[in-house]
Every structure is written in structure tokens, then in C-alpha cells.
Structure 1
Amino acid sequence: MDWLILFSLIVFGALLVLMEVIFVPGTTVVGALGLIFTGMGIYYAFLNFSANVAYTVTTLTILLNIGFLVYGFKSGVWDRFALKQTIINRTFDDRLVGLEIGQKGKTISDFKPFGKIEIEDKIYEAKSEGGFISSGTLVTISKIANNKIIIKP
């Protein structure tokens, strides 16, 4: 019965470590539980068997866990979770197409310093260069930078 308990603790712990590496990498909860169970198996071996048997069980358990880790890394599991592409597009890149410095528009909301502006029947969000601008004011685009419109009265 002692061997069955020892074998169950160590195998269950090692299987949890293997599951951590292959099925749920990065969570560390399953792997930590696996290490706890294997540690309990080693502790159980030291309590119920001679020192030579306990050290042999410890060595075999460590080799088993390292073998599972090596297998998990060599099997290419981590490649499924690695980002292999880079995103080169940006959001709203063409939103400001057709706008030029010096173009006129009318504010449709108060600027404190951000607000809405209407230019050629299109509504844009812009920033005031000087602070507060009330709604209905005629304004001019003074700068277009970093996908932002800067206006002045």
C-alpha cells in the first residue's frame, strides 16, 4: 500500500507538470500543484522507507520531471503561443486624408481643449491650440501631427 501511495503522488505530480508544459503553459498554477504533489511523494518516501530508497525515489522523481520539461520544450508546444507576426498598420491612418493646414471649419462643440469640428460636411475630433473655444466658432487647422488635428480660432 505504501508503494501505491508513493507511486500515485509522484506520477500525479509529474503528470501535472507535464500538463503545465504542454496544455496550459504560463499559468504556473498547474505546474505548482504538480511540484507540490511530487514534493509530497518525496516526503512520503522519506517517512515510510529507508534513506537509500527515499534518495533513489528523489533522484528518479527529479529526472522524471526534468524529462517532462525537456519533452515539453522540444515538442514545439511553445511555438503555438509565440507571436510570429508584427502588426504594421495603425488605427485610423486614412481618417485625416484630405485635410490640410490652413483649412477652415466650424466647431460644433465647446473645446476644453478637445472637441468636435465640422470640415466640409465631415466631423472630426480636434484639439484647441489655445484652450477654450466656444461652439459655433470659425477655426483654422494649424497643425496635423500624430493623427491629431490642432486648431486655432
Structure 2
Amino acid sequence: MDILIIIGLIVAGIILFLIEIFVIPGISFAGVGAFICLIYANYFAFSNLGNTAGFITLAASAIACVSTLILFMKSKTLDKIALKKNITSTVDNEAELSVKVGDTGISVTRLALIGMAEINGHHVEVKSVDGFIEEKTPIIVNRIAHGAILVERQKQTTI
């Protein structure tokens, strides 16, 4: 009867261990349960069956964990549950493509370095090179770098 309890605890520990590794990654109930089952199986073997049986149980549980992990990884089970879809969609950046250096517009939101502006009738995300720019302030496109539109306050011309 003691051997059946030990075998049951080791099997439960291995199942919870595999669930922890492949289904619920991170430290969760399954990982804690696997740890408790395997430790208690070894403790039970040492306390009830003696040192020899305890060391045999310790070796058997270590070998069982490693071998089932390797067997599960080499099986095609992971291929069946793996994500194989590639993302082919793109972001609609038609408005950003229509903006050129020197275009003028008005800030729609406060540009706390990044915000929204209306340039050429399009609402686009812009970055300020002048620091904070309040909303409804005239702006001019300074440069476009790596898809980011950099703007500054439009200088007031005096006549």
C-alpha cells in the first residue's frame, strides 16, 4: 500500500509538473502542487520504508521528471498546440505618408512631447522638438525620422 501511495504521488507530481511547464507557465498552483507531491513522496518513502527505499524513490522521481519532460518535448504534441499564424496586417499610415517637411498645421491636443495634430486635414501623431506645446497652437513640421513626425511651434512673422 505504501508503494502505491508513493507511485501515485510521483505520477501526480509529474502531471502537475508538465502542466506547469507547458500549459500554465510561471509559479502557479500546478507548480506548487508538483513540488509538494514530489517532496512528500520522497519524505513518505524515507520515513515509512527506510533510507534505501527513500534514495530509490528520490532517484526514480528525478529520472521520471527529466525523462517525461524530454519525451514530451520530443513528441509532436507541442507542434499541435503551437501557434503557427503569422501576422500579415499592417497599420494604416496613409495620413503620415502625406505629411512632408515644412507643412503647417495646428496641435489638436497638448503636445507633452507627443500628441495629436491636424496637418493637411489629417489627424496624425506628432512629437514636439520645442518641449510642451499647448493645444490649438500653430505648428510646422521640422523633420520626419523613422516614421515619427517631429514638429515645432510656428514662428510668428512680424511685418
Query: Would you call these one fold, judging by a TM-score over 0.5?
Result: yes
> How far off is 1:138 after superposition?
4.6
What secondary structure, in the 3-state scheme, does the structure 1 residue paired with 2:63 have?
Answer: helix
Between 1:102-111 and 1:35-44, the stretch displaced more is 102-111
Letter paired with 1:124: V
Indicate the residue corresponding to 2:119 in structure 1.
119
In angstroms, what is the RMSD of aligned CA positions? 3.4
- C-alpha separation between the residues in 2 aligned to 1:45 and 1:36? 14
Counterpart position of 1:151: 152
Q: Which runs of 5+ in 2 are unaligned?
A: 155-159
Cα displacement (A) at 1:135:
5.9
Letter in 2 for 1:26: P
In structure 1, the partner of 2:157 is none
How far apart in 1 are the matches of 2:19 and 2:137? 64
Displacement after TM superposition at 1:107 (Å): 4.7
Paired amino acid for 1:15: I
The 8 Å contact of residues 125 and 149 in structure 1, kept in 2 or not, is answered as no
Q: Give the Cα separation in 2 of the matches to 1:37 and 1:61.
A: 10
Runs of 4+ in 1 over 6 A off after TM superposition: 87-90
Q: Which amino acid aligns with 2:65?
A: N
Matches within 5 A, 1:1-153: 1-22=1-22, 24=23, 26-29=25-28, 30-77=30-77, 80-81=81-82, 91=91, 93-107=93-107, 116-131=116-131, 138-146=138-146, 147-153=148-154
Larger RCO (alpha carbons 8 Å, 6+ apart)? 1
Mapped contact 2:141–2:149 kept (Cα < 8 A): no
Q: Write 1 or 2 for the structure with the bigger share of strand.
A: 2
Cα distance change on mapping 1:135 and 1:64 into 2, 3 Å:
closer
Deviations 1:54-111 (A, max 9, x none): 22222222221121111122125555557885x6987454331222222233455665
For the residue of structure 2 that corresponds to 1:105, the secondary structure is strand
Q: Is the contact made by 2:127 and 2:149 (CA closer than 8 Å) also made in structure 1?
A: yes
Using the size of structure 2 for normalisation, the TM-score is 0.68
Q: Secondary structure at the match of 2:94?
A: coil
Instruction: State how far apart, in whole Å, the 1-side matches of 2:112 and 2:61 are.
Output: 66
Change (3 A) 1:152 1:90: farther
CA distance in 2 between counterparts of 1:50 and 1:108 reads 78
Deviates more, 1:121-130 or 1:43-52: 121-130
**Runs of at least 5 residues in structure 1 that lack an aligned partner in the other structure:** none
